[in-house]
Amino acid sequence: MASCPALLVAAPASGQGKTTVVAALARLHARQGRRVTVFKCGPDFIDPQIHALASGRPCQNLDFGMCSETDAAWRLARAAQESDLILIEGVMGLFDGKPSAADIAMHFGIPVMALIDAGSMAQTFGAVAHGLASYRPELPFAGVLANRVASVRHADFLRSSLPDGMDWFGALPKQADSLPERHLGLLQASEISDLTQRLDQLADALAATATVNLPAPIDFPDIAPPVTPPLLAGQRIGIAHDAAYGFIYPANLETLRALGADPVFFSPLADEPLPACDAVWLPGGYPEVHADILCRRFALWEQLRNHVARGKPMLAECGGMMSLFEEIVGVDGRTHAFAGLLPGRAVMQPRLSALGTQFVTLPEGNLAGHTFHFSRSSTTLDPLCHAQTPDGRSGEPVWRQQRLTASYLHLYFPSNPLAIARLLGNE
């Protein structure tokens, strides 16, 4: 049994500033020499990149749908043994989704700090806080922190509106230092040139205006990680990794290493060639944002064609898959020629095209994953299969040519390491 202070930061809705506050908390405590491990509820790629920079440690995902309760439990147990503080960023509103951030907090007994955007309210703040605290009485509710507060007097109004006995974590002022966004959420950490400076400023503001003492320790039962046989021992996996291909779960890299594989990273944006490798993984990202550069990577596309022609495995997910089509059409209507390994095109849409957890049965085994994209793709290929949503509806198609497997799905490798070994391993 390991004990560690832990706090889940949630909010009434998206857009309240959860990522900013969690990153500021992580940065503040990490600067004080504490080992801070941050988790993100839900299958998010972008917020964890920011938390990893803020804390100096990888940020893992917690999600009972895609990741499973067992996966979440052993990762939290490991973090409790290795950390001085565990911070968890909720997803959407506190009670939104199945499972919700509240479900995760109650399952593990983790206290919840509610972050409320108070920019346009006064005493109503107390009513919102009361509702969050009492909606499910079994929720371990720790207190509230007000965000985007106009003045000290405003903060006093907010605090005085709280029900008797509810803890006040403090107030953060309005500031123009919010983190920049694009269509899939915040910019990736590598794209914000002054992110470290921003995080330090946020941590300073938090230290000056909020209660930043460590929460009380809670107990996490000892749970051993799963045993993964080294089925990919000695195999090199070439992984595209840059601002165009940055959607990589840290747990996926852990799984590859546990399987014995040697991940070798390369940057298509930097015009780096495909490294000598046994398999290739093209993760998701923003190829459409960098289309003017990527459409000129003729040598890389030829290397990938040769890789597939030699019967070697390749996994292309979402943006990685889009890059393998003949064309990508941006939201501005401009068409860019891409790799041409797959017939067809991907066309960016003004609105979200798909979102949510899905499960897929491949010849190699069953895998969980997540889809989140603004594009629609058309191809003459017949799908190998379709994923399914949790309620049994048909989900994303999966295409296959030789050992190339392509889909909008972002697979969660720990959901079935043996299937990943078959998917990326030598036949």
CA distance 207 to 185: 27
Alpha-carbon distance 147 to 374, whole Å?
30
Q: What pLDDT, on a 0 to 100 scale, did the predictor assign at position 176? A: 43
At residue 47, the 3 state secondary structure works out as helix
Domain ranges for the chain, please list them: 2-220, 236-424
CATH of domain 236-424: 3.40.50.880
- Other C-beta atoms within 10 Å of 115: how many? 25
Contact assessment for residue 359 and residue 387, using Cβ atoms and an 8 Å cutoff = yes
Give the Cα separation of 19 and 179 in Å (integer). Answer: 9
Structure tokens at 28: 């503040």
Starting at the edge strand that comes first in sequence, how are the strands of the sheet with 394-401 ordered?
262-266, 236-240, 279-282, 314-317, 404-407, 394-401, 385-388, 354-362, 365-373, 410-411
Beta strands in 241-289 (DSSP E): 262-266, 279-282
Strands 168-173 and 141-149: parallel
Q: Which residues contact 73 (CB under 8 A, 6 or more apart)?
A: 108, 221, 223
Question: Tens of pLDDT along the chain (427 residues)?
Answer: 889 999 999 999 988 889 989 998 999 999 999 999 999 998 888 888 889 989 999 999 998 889 999 999 999 999 999 999 999 999 899 999 888 999 999 999 999 999 999 988 989 999 999 999 999 999 999 999 999 998 889 999 999 999 998 999 888 888 645 565 544 455 665 666 677 888 888 888 878 876 667 788 999 999 988 999 999 999 999 999 999 999 999 999 999 999 999 999 999 999 999 999 999 999 999 999 999 999 999 999 999 999 999 999 999 999 999 999 999 998 888 999 999 999 999 999 887 777 889 999 999 999 999 999 888 999 999 999 999 999 999 999 999 999 999 999 999 999 999 999 999 998 6
The one-letter amino acid at 174: K
Q: What is the pLDDT of residue 360?
A: 98
Do the domains 2-220 and 236-424 sit in the same CATH topology, yes or no? yes
For 380, counting Cβ atoms within 10 Å of its Cβ (0-12 exposed, 13-18 middle, 19+ buried), the class is exposed
Tokens at 426, concatenated: 């030598």
Q: What is the pLDDT of residue 172?
A: 83
Evaluate whether 243 touches 287 at the Cβ level (below 8 Å).
no
Tokens 């941590």 -> residue: 203
Dihedrals phi, psi of 139, to nearest 5 degrees: -65, 130
Contacts of 134 by beta carbon, 8 Å cutoff, 6+ apart: none
Phi, psi (deg, nearest 5) at residue 355: -155, 130
| pTM strictly above 0.95 | no
User: So which residues are the catalytic ones?
Assistant: 318
CA-CA distance, 13 to 17, in Å (whole number)?
A: 10
* Distance separating alpha carbons of residues 407 and 396, to the nearest angstrom: 7
CA distances to 302, 325, 368 from 292, in Å: 18, 15, 33
The domain made up of 2-220 is a member of CATH 3.40.50.300: yes
